[in-house]
Amino acid sequence: MDSGNTAWVLVSAALVLFMTPGLAFFYGGMVRSKNVLGMLMQNIFAMGIISTIWAIIGFSLAFGGDNPIIGNFDFAFMSDVTSLDDDIPGFAFFAFQMMFAVITPALITGATADRLKFGSYALLIALWSIFVYAPAARWVFNADGWIFEMGALDFAGGAAIHINAGMAALAVILVIGNRTGHGSEPMPPHNLPLTVLGTGILWFGWFGFNAGSALAADGVAAQALVNTQLGAATGMLGWLLVERIRTGHATVLGACSGAVAGLVAITPCAGFVGGVAPMIIGTIAGIACYLALFIKARMNWDDSLDVIAVHLIGGIVGTLLLGFFADTAVNGEFDGLFFGGGLELLKDQFVAAVGVGAFSFIATYAIAFAIQRTVGLRVDIDAEMMGLDQSEHAESAYAS
Amino acid sequence: MKLITAVIKPFKLDDVKDALKSAGVAGITVSEVRGFGRQGGHTETYRGAEYKIDFVPKVSVSILVDDPDVDGVVEVIANAARTEKIGDGKIWVTDVDRVVRIRTGEEGADAV
């Protein structure tokens, strides 16, 4: 085993864990003050329940055996994880992947803000982690998974995490409907400084997410780290540019949103591109994700905090652009269209995006629909008016 | 016995408080309020969506004064709170039937 590589992966696991409370603040600042604890709780609770499920069954379903669709029970309850010891310990890989499993369902909470029953939310993400995340992670991250085998690239989870969570978010909001008052009463963010704090934590943790995905402390990790920074930076610039042109102002929320959009898009590309590619990818993501904000208005979807625009569209942008910018001089076995690889990789990237997206939408819709029809997924109107802080948790965020 | 209520711009509160202290006023009660008047609201933009904010934050100052002092105190407040721009606020005076100082039980002008 290599101690340097092991140290970096262990640190990266901790960095990725930190992204989930970062996401909690990012989202928490954007909801109304009566729902801020509800939002923080949904995120922080994912750290509790998903970590536990991952140890019991999730990791095994994602990484056990050699089936291209789904894993087996070889690693259930963490049995035999040390059999994966290689360059790094099996448990380092297990822990790193655990943090990915934790944050992915948490991403969905931005779309469903202010209207999920807490117990039903717990059931939703538990089932989702087992039946949607674990298979998608297997397809993309496991060498036996069908998307991996096909030759599609996803360095740190553009398809497995962002397209997956984005399509899941759409499925759940189609089941639960819009917030009461959506479109008729203003629901501006209640505390943007929290959102800025969350953005900083996310950005910081994302270095573990992307550079850690090299699973080694090497040149690819360094390239991925630089690409991550440039993706975020140019994502911010791209978003602010369009926002300034269209509304006359460069907003703080726009700077944060653009940075996250750039981070999302650079995620699948991080260890496979070099040169100015991350700047082009980030800029395109910032612009595309801003323009994608208007999808929800046109469709009347109450994607409350824009999970579709930022994560689904950002994930698609990154996944597809990798088909143009992948460069074997940097890493990997496949060149993109701009580096002499022809259309082959772009086609595989497209299939990966559609495959994960379609599966996620259908499976998530089925789970959410089943919960809604049995124990109920959405709070009743009284609870929604009162706010989740009081109705679901019997607490208040701010003394009044 | 009168109650003077002044709704003023929040950043003028310190000026008004200092002016009232200098004028010998013994106590005021302050609350943060929101409302609309001729000043109107403003728009904010979050992720491309425009929000019309109708209510403007203001500070409300309440002062109990003895009848002969009313005009002087109103003038002190008006002078201290004035910026000559729209939204400076309003001052109004209402009759008060009875005032009691809780600690001593004093009433009327003695309690002010």
CATH number among 1.10.3430.10, 3.20.20.140, 3.40.50.300, 3.40.50.1820, domain A3-388: 1.10.3430.10
| Cα dist from A104 to A108, A292, B23, B37, whole Å | 7, 21, 63, 47
Task: Report chain B's mean pLDDT, rounded to a whole number.
Answer: 94
% of chain A surpassing 70 pLDDT:
100
**Residue B106: predicted pLDDT:** 94
Considering only alpha carbons, which residue of chain B is nearest residue A304? B47
User: How far apart, in whole angstroms, are the C-alpha atoms of residue A63 and residue A139?
Assistant: 10
Across the A/B interface, how many CB contacts are shorter than 8 Å? 28
**Residue A116 DSSP class:** B
Q: Residue A167 has which token pair? A: 């399509």
Q: Which residues have a Cβ under 8 Å from the Cβ of A377 and sit 6 or more positions away?
A: A116, A117, A120, A121, A124, A172, A175, A176, A368, A371
- The pLDDT of residue A209 is above 90: yes
Cross-chain residue pair B44–A188, CB shorter than 8 Å:
yes
**Model confidence pLDDT, tens digit, residues A66-96:** 999 999 999 999 999 999 999 999 999 999 9
Beta sheet of B56-65, edge-to-edge order: B29-35, B56-65, B2-8, B89-95
Q: How many residues does chain B have?
A: 112
Terminal-residue alpha carbon distance, chain A: 56
Residues of chain B neighbouring A306 (CB-CB closer than 8 A): 47
Cross-chain residue pair A186–B51, CB shorter than 8 Å:
yes
Residues of chain B neighbouring A254 (CB-CB closer than 8 A): 47
Q: Is residue B74 part of a domain?
A: yes
% of chain B surpassing 90 pLDDT:
79
Q: How many domains does chain B have?
A: 1
Cross-chain residue pair A249–B45, CB shorter than 8 Å:
yes
Residues of chain B neighbouring A189 (CB-CB closer than 8 A): 46
CATH number at residue B14: 3.30.70.120
Cross-chain residue pair A297–B49, CB shorter than 8 Å:
yes
User: How far apart, in whole angstroms, are the C-alpha atoms of residue B5 and residue B21?
Assistant: 16
Cross-chain residue pair B45–A306, CB shorter than 8 Å:
no
Considering only alpha carbons, which residue of chain B is nearest residue A242? B48
Q: What are the residue boundaries of the structural domains of chain A, listed by start?
A: 3-388
For A339-391, what is the HEC assignment?
A: HCCCCHHHHHHHHHHHHHHHHHHHHHHHHHHHHHHHCCCECCHHHHHHCHHHH
**Residue B53: predicted pLDDT:** 85
- The pLDDT of residue B108 is above 70: yes
**Residue A186: predicted pLDDT:** 87
Q: Is residue B112 part of a domain?
A: no
CB A171, CB A364: distance < 8 Å = yes
**Model confidence pLDDT, tens digit, residues B23-60:** 999 999 999 999 999 888 888 999 988 888 889 999 99
What is the least distance, in Å, from the CA of B110 to any CA of chain A?
Answer: 34
Cross-chain residue pair A188–B48, CB shorter than 8 Å:
no
Q: Nearest by CB to A246, which of B48, B51, B53?
A: B48
Q: Classify burial at A41, counting beta carbons within 10 Å of its beta carbon; exposed 0-12, middle 13-18, buried 19 or more.
A: buried
Rg over CA atoms, chain A: 20
The residue of A192, A251, A290, A301 whose CB has the most chain B CBs within 10 angstroms, and thus the best one to mutate to test that interface, is A251
B11-20 burial by CB neighbour count: b if 16+ within 10 A, else e? ebbebbeebb
Q: Nearest by CB to B48, which of A188, A189, A293?
A: A293
Our CA angle for A81, A71, A336, nearest 5°, is: 100
Cross-chain residue pair A247–B48, CB shorter than 8 Å:
yes
- The pLDDT of residue A274 is above 90: yes
User: How far apart, in whole angstroms, are the C-alpha atoms of residue B81 and residue A210?
Assistant: 56
Q: Is residue B80 part of a domain?
A: yes
Query: Which SS3 state, helix, strand or coil, does residue A153 take?
Result: coil
Q: Is residue B105 part of a domain?
A: no
Residues of chain B neighbouring A249 (CB-CB closer than 8 A): 45
Q: Residue A153 has which token pair? A: 């690239």
Q: Nearest by CB to A257, which of B47, B49, B52?
A: B47
**Residue B29: predicted pLDDT:** 97
Task: Report chain A's mean pLDDT, rounded to a whole number.
Answer: 97
Q: Is residue B90 part of a domain?
A: yes
**Residue A400: predicted pLDDT:** 63
Cross-chain residue pair B47–A253, CB shorter than 8 Å:
yes
Q: Is residue B14 part of a domain?
A: yes
**Model confidence pLDDT, tens digit, residues A126-162:** 999 999 999 999 999 999 999 999 999 999 999 999 9
CB A327, CB A155: distance < 8 Å = no
Q: Residue A400 has which token pair? A: 């009044």
CB atoms < 10 A from the CB of B73, how many?
A: 23
Q: Is residue B6 part of a domain?
A: yes
CB A98, CB A59: distance < 8 Å = yes
Q: Residue B5 has which token pair? A: 């209520």
Residues of chain A neighbouring B51 (CB-CB closer than 8 A): 186, 188
User: How far apart, in whole angstroms, are the C-alpha atoms of residue A62 and residue A72?
Assistant: 8
User: How far apart, in whole angstroms, are the C-alpha atoms of residue A361 and residue A354?
Assistant: 10
Q: How far from the centroid of its chain's Cα atoms is residue B19's Cα? A: 13
Considering only alpha carbons, which residue of chain B is nearest residue A291? B48
Name the residue range of residue B92's domain: 2-97
Residues of chain A neighbouring B52 (CB-CB closer than 8 A): 186
User: How far apart, in whole angstroms, are the C-alpha atoms of residue A376 and residue A144?
Assistant: 37
Residues of B with CB under 8 A from a CB of A: 44-53
Tell me the whole-structure pTM to 2 decimals: 0.91
Q: Is residue B108 part of a domain?
A: no
* ipTM metric: 0.79
Q: Residue A350 has which token pair? A: 């497209």
